[in-house]
A and B are shown apart, each in its own frame.
Chain A
Amino acid sequence: MFDPQVVRKDFPILKREINGKPLVYLDSGATSQKPISVLEAERNYYEKHNANVHRGAHTLGDEATQIYQGARNKVAKFVGGGEAEIIFVRNTTEAINLVAYAWGLDNLEKGDVVLTTIMEHHSNLVPWQEVARRTGARVEVVGITKEGQIDQQDYAEKLKLKPKMVAIVQVSNALGTINPVKEMTKAAHRVGALVLIDGAQAVPHMGVDVKKIGCDFYAFSAHKMLGPMGIGVLWGRREILEMMSPFLTGGGMIKEVFTDHSTWADVPEKFEAGTPNVAGAVGLASAIDYLEQLGMEAVREHDKEIVGYSLELLAQLPNIKILGTHDKSTRSGSVSFEYMGVHAHDAATILDSEGVAVRSGHHCTMPLHNHLGVVASIRASFNVYTTKEDIDTLVTALGKIKTIFGK
């Protein structure tokens, strides 16, 4: 495994001080920090190759197009999909909206069921609610166990409703649970459903192969996996993408345009209307290079070690109640907890005064927090640069809450 202390040196922002203390960045689940190589790759693109893609017969235009396609190829290999199956979008949210609208509006009708879970991020729930409202379909939600895992019995029961779409998160952003998406996909296919996996919190921490999972759609964001903001990926099974109507329309996604109708470009261009984020794609490709250099197995090993260490230390503190499983082998990326008697925002503000950045609130999972009976929680989330010393500092900083709140 790599040494996170060495990895840290590649991330310029980690040298910052916050409130006079060295930054301890434990909010990577919201967005990861970026290594210098990613920042330089984007800058290099703009300094040397910037032009619009798929247009004009000039050298820079060709270079930009090649670079953009090269990034697509790299992403395809990274997640085990075909190049034509990689659609660049802004982020996971947009990827899911693309499927919800472009597939859902044409394929859902009154009485149809979309099945999702109570632990979804709002981005894998709200688009389905909205498309259900427009089509007359309904959204059904699978519950969780006390351990914070998807209730598989409930899942099996709800599959009997013969959903048309099953939309599930691979790694919960709030509970850290790693869901058995391969098995769940198989079960969903048996009842004829398509399966969309929200991989936003999985891709940064573990090797993902969409063909092995067997799903039909897989969505993730670059910015949580050391890449830039503003670019994300929808992988879709080619034959399904080819049958789907476009999501956004306009330039770049057409074959022929007449005044009264148009025909669509082949996939993936059919789903990429307008000038794409080429620099973002370059940054994402560079982030993949960085992760592959570390090795995704090592990335997961490090993740498991930090998650395990956090669980071990936090479990010893009297006022802390950990949300979700204590088993690091089925948990990834984060540990969320309540500080009993102190609101999460107050706790986070005090941690910030010690240089420790955590997320506080419901982490875009209001239904889950309601289900757990928790108004707001604190989340410490990690990436390859997170050290055990960071966790030690978190624990020390948590001690300051007691001095202020007396709890």
Chain B
Amino acid sequence: MDMYREDVMDHYEHPRNQGELVGDDVVTERDSNASCGDMVQFFLKVEQGKIVDVKWKGIGCAITTAAASKLSEYLVGKKIEDIRKLGEEELVKKAIGFEINLGRSKCLTLPVKVVKSLCRS
């Protein structure tokens, strides 16, 4: 059960950066997985093209929760432009760093899709 390894379970049980951000310099977006009803919303505070604060909220399985948590840590301090350049798979590899079986891949990519979409707009 590699996908439920210690660091994943730690992020699931103690998710980082949960919450909401408000303000003119905050962008936000949400998405959900139709097959399970999981939902993730990200809030990015952007100053001069750089992500200075990240919060997220949502309901989801251990995988989605841990992925969103890890991703939120990774994003702080990054340039929007750099995130935009990364493909979905690259972002999963760099920010989340664990793999899961095909049937659950949507759980892993849901937060990534939200962030990618935010960085596009």
Contact = CB atoms under 8 A, between A and B. Distances in A.
Given A361-B36, A375-B36, 8 more contacts: A343-B36, A345-B61, A345-B107, A349-B100, A369-B37, A404-B1, A404-B9, A405-B9
B104 to A, nearest CB: 6
B61 A346 contact: yes
B59 interface: yes
B35 interface: yes
B63 interface: yes
B4 A404 contact: yes
Contacts of A346: 4, 61-63
A362 B1 contact: no
Contact of B63 (A345, A360, A361): A345
A372 to B, nearest CB: 12
B86 interface: no
28 contacts: A342-B62, A343-B38, A343-B60, A343-B61, A343-B62, A344-B61, A345-B36, A345-B61, A345-B104, A346-B4, A346-B61, A346-B62, A346-B63, A349-B100, A349-B101, A349-B104, A360-B36, A361-B36, A362-B37, A366-B37, A369-B37, A375-B38, A375-B59, A376-B36, A376-B37, A404-B4, A405-B9, A405-B62
B59 A361 contact: no
A330 interface: no
A404 B104 CA distance: 17
B63 A353 contact: no
A350 interface: yes
Interface in B91-108: 100-101, 103-104, 107
Nearest to A364: B35
Nearest to A403: B1
B36 A353 contact: no
Interface of B: 1, 3-4, 9, 35-38, 59-63, 100-101, 103-104, 107
Contacts of A369: 37
Tier of interface size on chain A: 10 to 19
A376 B63 CA distance: 15
Across chains A and B, which 3 residue pairs bring their CB atoms closest together, nearest first?
A343-B61, A345-B61, A346-B62
Contacts of A360: 36
A345 B59 CA distance: 13
B80 to A, nearest CB: 31
Nearest to A370: B37
A331 B107 CA distance: 32
A404 B4 CA distance: 7
A212 to B, nearest CB: 37
Contacts of B38: 343, 375-376
Interface hub of B3, B36, B60, B107 (most chain A Cβ within 10 A): B36
B61 A362 contact: no
Contacts of A404: 1, 4, 9
A362 B36 contact: yes
A361 B101 contact: no
Contacts of A349: 3, 100-101, 103-104
Contacts of B3: 349
Contacts of B37: 361-362, 366, 369, 375-376
Interface string A250-291: 000000000000000000000000000000000000000000
Contacts of B59: 375
A361 B61 contact: no
Contacts of A375: 36-38, 59
Contact of B35 (A342, A343, A353, A361): A361
Interface string A237-256: 00000000000000000000
A362 B36 CA distance: 6
Interface in A351-373: 353, 360-362, 366, 369
Contacts of B9: 404-405
Contacts of B107: 345
A353 B103 CA distance: 13
B61 to A, nearest CB: 3
A350 B1 contact: yes
A375 B104 CA distance: 16
Contacts of B61: 343-346
A349 B63 CA distance: 11
Given A361-B36, A375-B37, A376-B37, A353 B62 contact: no
Interface in A362-403: 362, 366, 369, 375-376
A343 B13 CA distance: 13
A342 B63 CA distance: 11
